[in-house]
Amino acid sequence: MNIVMMGAQGTGKGTVAGILKQKLNIPHISTGDIFRKNIQEETELGKLATQYIDKGQLVPDEVTNAMVKSRINELDCENGFILDGYPRNIAQAEELDKMLEEKNKKVDYAINLTLEMEEIMSRIINRRICSNSECKEIYNLVSKPTKAPGICDKCGSEIVQRVDDSDSEAVKKRLDTYFSQTAPLIDFYNKKGVVYKVESNKPPKDLAEGIIEFLK
């Protein structure tokens, strides 16, 4: 089963995808993780991406597409995957279709997590993440605080705020960009009849259980 997770930052799509990964026994593929892996391992694609990132430029679709294609062609994706952070626009969605058509496969579901803008802003500004790159557990100062202030419950490392989460105006601009790019994507997948809309106003575990029931 091939799933695309859709939803603005703060809707919990990464957390929900992580739970679905365990339930469905298919990999959760975050494009952020793909980029970091290629850059750290200094692959040809990683070096190419770095050239743009170092100049403060967006990495072109063709580079991102190539990284995703390489990842979904790995053996652990044979029975499906959960894509998180890709596609971000219509061109990428069309390219993903081509990648899957080569394997006689398709996107089975596009799960769209939605939430009111005010709640999204609150979640992002109060979001904290474990500084341990092997852990990366996500917390929220309001809805999911750590037991000991500033310390990750799972590994004991310091929790930190992402730099791009601290500026409310920057967060709003980021969200505006997301919604302007995503509206056409929702239409794209709606025409294929694969969108499943989920109100992200429950704990991630409950959301994941509801999605599993729908998939059954």
Q: What is the pLDDT of residues 6-25, one digit of tens each?
A: 999 889 898 899 999 999 99
Instruction: Using the predicted structure, report yes or no on whether residue 52 has a pLDDT greater than 90.
Output: no
pLDDT of 57: 78
Which residues, listed in sequence order, are joined to residue 139 by a DSSP beta bridge? 128
For every residue of the chain, which 3-state class applies, written as one string? CEEEEECCCCCCHHHHHHHHHHHHCCCEEEHHHHHHHHHHCCCHHHHHHHHHHHCCCCCCHHHHHHHHHHHHCCHHHCCCEEEECCCCCHHHHHHHHHHHHCCCCCCCEEEEEECCHHHHHHHHHCEEEECCCCCCCEEECCCECCCECCECCCCCCEEECCHHHCCHHHHHHHHHHHHHHHHHHHHHHHHCCCEEEEECCCCHHHHHHHHHHHHC
Mean pLDDT lowest among 46-60, 110-124, 182-196? 46-60
Q: Contact at 8 Å (CB) between 132 and 24?
A: no
pLDDT of 167: 82
Average pLDDT over residues 49-60: 83
Region class of 161: left (phi > 0), else alpha (psi between -120 and 50), else beta: beta
- Identify the structural domains of the chain with CATH numbers, from first to last: 2-116+176-215 (3.40.50.300)
Average pLDDT over residues 167-172: 83
How far apart are the C-alpha atoms of 46 and 159, rounded to whole Å?
28
Which residues, listed in sequence order, are joined to residue 111 by a DSSP beta bridge? 5, 196
Residue among 37, 136, 174, 192 flagged as catalytic:
174
Residue among 154, 162, 197, 202 flagged as catalytic:
162
pLDDT of 112: 96
Amino acid residing at 33: D
In the residue annotation, 71 being an active-site residue is answered as: no
How many Cβ atoms from other residues are within 10 Å of residue 207's Cβ? 23
pLDDT band of 152, cuts 50, 70, 90:
very high
pLDDT of 6: 94
In the residue annotation, 174 being an active-site residue is answered as: yes
pLDDT of 99: 97
Residue among 13, 71, 123, 128 flagged as catalytic:
13
Residue among 21, 71, 123, 127 flagged as catalytic:
127
Six token digits for residue 198: 């989920």
CA 137 to mean position of chain CA atoms: 14
Instruction: Using the predicted structure, report yes or no on whether residue 169 has a pLDDT greater than 90.
Output: no
pLDDT band of 75, cuts 50, 70, 90:
very high
CA 7 to mean position of chain CA atoms: 8
In the residue annotation, 127 being an active-site residue is answered as: yes
pLDDT band of 194, cuts 50, 70, 90:
very high
pLDDT band of 32, cuts 50, 70, 90:
confident
Mean pLDDT of the chain: 92
Instruction: Using the predicted structure, report yes or no on whether residue 164 has a pLDDT greater than 80.
Output: no
Residue among 88, 105, 144, 172 flagged as catalytic:
88
pLDDT band of 114, cuts 50, 70, 90:
very high
Amino acid residing at 90: I
Average pLDDT over residues 182-197: 93
Strands 109-114 and 138-140, by their bridges, are unpaired
How far apart are the C-alpha atoms of 156 and 168, rounded to whole Å?
28
